[in-house]
Amino acid sequence: MKEIEREHFWNSRYEGEFPAMLREKGKVVIVAFYGFRDTEKIGLIKLSDMDTDNLLKTRLKDAPVEKDESLWREGTLCGGVGAFSWKIQKGSVQDYFDFCYTVSRHDFKEVKKLEFKKLSENGSTRSYMDIDHIVGTNYFVVAHGGR
pLDDT tens, position by position, 8-60: 888 877 788 888 999 999 999 998 887 766 678 899 999 999 999 999 999 88
Q: Indicate if the pLDDT at residue 106 is higher than 70.
A: yes
Report whether pLDDT(115) > 70.
Answer: yes
| Confidence check: pLDDT of 69 > 80 | no
Name which residue leads in pLDDT, 66 or 36: 66
Report whether pLDDT(95) > 90.
Answer: yes
In Å, what is the CA distance from 75 to each residue of 2, 83, 120, 123? 20, 10, 30, 30
- Quote the CA–CA distance of 138 and 21 in Å, as a whole number: 12
> Measured between alpha carbons, how far is 86 from 37 in angstroms, rounded to an integer?
17
**Residue 14 · residue 144 · CB < 8 Å:** yes
Give, rounded to a whole angstrom, the gap between the first and last alpha carbons of the chain. Answer: 29
Does residue 2 or residue 53 have the better pLDDT? 53
Q: Are β-strands 139-146 and 40-46 bridged in parallel, bridged antiparallel, or unpaired?
A: antiparallel
The winner for highest mean pLDDT among 2-11, 44-53, 82-91 is: 44-53
0.75 surpassed by pTM: yes
Q: Give the confidence band of 118 by pLDDT, cuts at 50, 70, 90.
A: confident
